[in-house]
Structure 1
Amino acid sequence: MIDRITQGIKELEIEEIQTLVQRALDSGHTADKILDAIRKGADEVGRFFEEGTYFISDLVMAGQIMKTALEILQPHLKAGGESQGKIVLGTIEGDIHDIGKQIVKTFMASAGFEVHDLGVDVPAKKFAEAAKDINADIVAVSVLFSVAALNLESVVEEIRTAGLREKVKVIAGGAAARQEYINRFGVDAAVNDAITGMDKIRSWMAEKR
């Protein structure tokens, strides 16, 4: 059932997704597990777009499917309580993908974090400005295109220039994220899925307390 959700996202089955998500919930699958299945489908949609198999219209449809799935899941996600920290989130400059970012945002919010979403195609300086404005703990950068990932170095440098590097952790996430980016661009972590990313963020926040 979980794999079928991933397939439904990947194949843009907008009429099926409501039924698939509801059946997964009824079968006892957790909302987090279903979110991860949706994230995997979103990664596949992004890959198809990068390869030229899917087009902008397909991304729009995928976004509608994702919105439908997340609306069903929302009541089942944990929320409320004391804030666990502040996160600036955005898709890096040169990348217009919003789907994966929305999933990550849902994960973060359900885990009790305050999430400030900057949108897509976000310039490096804007990440730093937002981090300063809200006194952020984490800057999370979504990267689906490997070419756009080159801008990660500028994000880290802008945060350093703003005098925030000692306080703010930078995590790159998405299909294009690679471990080599830690040394190459200076990010603190690079992950390919939301669950691993949330584990890393939680560990950082635990160290700060």
Structure 2
Amino acid sequence: MSKEEYLKSLSDCVFEMEDEKVVTVAEEYLREGHSALDGINLGLVDGMNRAGALYEQEEYFVTDLLLCSDAMYNGLDVLKPHLQSETAEGEEPIPAVIGVVQGDTHDIGKNLVKIMFETAGFTMYDLGRDVPIEAFVDKAQEVNARLICLSTLMTTTMIGMQRVVELLKERGLYGKIKVMIGGGPVSKNFCDKIGADAYTGSAMEAVRVAKMLLNGEPIPAS
């Protein structure tokens, strides 16, 4: 098969909940010498995005998404060890804290962002899901993080993102520690409203924006 055919097959495995077949396809894909990063972004993540679109159209249910994510994670287990870090020799990894805000247990998107950031040379301190607000700021202070990444898929928990920003202000850390937010119900308008530093809609975009943010470069309007 061509690389494009392999990518389509990886996407289909996730979309069609083929949690065993995806392992075989991912292994064959690597044996052919193809990029692990492309396999994740253009294969596995594409399949998850397709499933998410059907979920929004109410053709897939939560149970379907969970089965799709099982397939995606099986594929990730094969591809992730072959990712090449982009950290330049002699360059210190950038510490960042990531987690899903309190009240939400959906962590598929957060996990993808974490993988992309680690590949890009960040040291990620993953607090998991349903994380208390103070834990984000406490951990950021403990590890001297330059960035906090917040995720949620529930509108009812978006207020937690605002509380993290407010807590940074209370501790005199606002502006010193940047805040990036993402997730299904989150938007650029909400980001601006709460005073977060950046919003992104995808894992790959998050890495690009994070580097611009930390380098003091202006973030282009999305």
Shorter-chain TM-score bucket reads: 0.7 to 0.9
Q: For 1:77, which of 62, 79, 83 is the aligned residue?
A: 83
Q: Could you say which residue in structure 1 is the equivalent of 2:102?
A: 93
SS in 1 for 2:124: strand
Write the deviation string for residues 79-135 of structure 1: whole angstroms up to 9, x where unpaired: 365333111000122221122222211111111111000001112222111111111
CA distance in 2, matches of 1:74, 1:17: 14
CA distance in 2, matches of 1:71, 1:84: 23
Q: Could you say which residue in structure 2 is the equivalent of 1:7?
A: 12
Residue 41 (str. 1) matches residue 50 (str. 2):
no
Assess, with a 3 A threshold, how the Cα gap between structure 1 residues 83 and 71 changes in structure 2: closer, same or farther.
farther
Q: For 1:199, which of 189, 208, 212 is the aligned residue?
A: 208
Structure 2 gaps, min length 5? 218-222
SS in 1 for 2:215: helix
Q: Which has the higher contact order (CA 8 A, sep 6+)?
A: 1
**Alpha carbons 2:98, 2:124 under 8 Å: kept:** yes
- Equivalent runs, 1:1-209 vs 2, <5 Å: 1=5, 2-26=7-31, 29-37=34-42, 38-45=44-51, 53-55=60-62, 58=64, 60-79=66-85, 81=89, 82-207=91-216
Offset of residue 5 of structure 1: 2.5
> How high is the TM-score relative to the length of structure 1?
0.83
**Alpha carbons 1:176, 1:192 under 8 Å: kept:** no
**Alpha carbons 2:181, 2:191 under 8 Å: kept:** no
Assess, with a 3 A threshold, how the Cα gap between structure 1 residues 49 and 75 changes in structure 2: closer, same or farther.
same
CA distance in 2, matches of 1:39, 1:95: 21
**Alpha carbons 1:45, 1:54 under 8 Å: kept:** no
CA distance in 2, matches of 1:114, 1:201: 13
The worse-fitting range, judged by mean Cα deviation, of 14-23 and 103-112 is 14-23
**Alpha carbons 2:101, 2:151 under 8 Å: kept:** yes
Offset of residue 14 of structure 1: 0.6
Counterpart residue identity of residue 11, structure 1: E
Offset of residue 3 of structure 1: 3.8
Assess, with a 3 A threshold, how the Cα gap between structure 1 residues 176 and 41 changes in structure 2: closer, same or farther.
farther
CA distance in 2, matches of 1:52, 1:128: 39
**Alpha carbons 2:45, 2:72 under 8 Å: kept:** no
SS in 1 for 2:154: coil
CA distance in 2, matches of 1:93, 1:42: 24
CA distance in 2, matches of 1:143, 1:43: 16
SS in 2 for 1:171: strand
**Alpha carbons 2:165, 2:196 under 8 Å: kept:** yes
CA distance in 2, matches of 1:185, 1:145: 16
**Alpha carbons 2:152, 2:182 under 8 Å: kept:** yes
SS in 1 for 2:140: helix
SS in 1 for 2:148: strand
**Alpha carbons 1:88, 1:115 under 8 Å: kept:** yes
Counterpart residue identity of residue 5, structure 1: L
Structure 1 gaps, min length 5? none
Counterpart residue identity of residue 203, structure 1: M
Provide the identity percentage.
Answer: 29
The count of aligned residue pairs is 207
**Cα RMSD, aligned residues only:** 2.7
Who wins on radius of gyration, i.e. which is larger?
Answer: 2
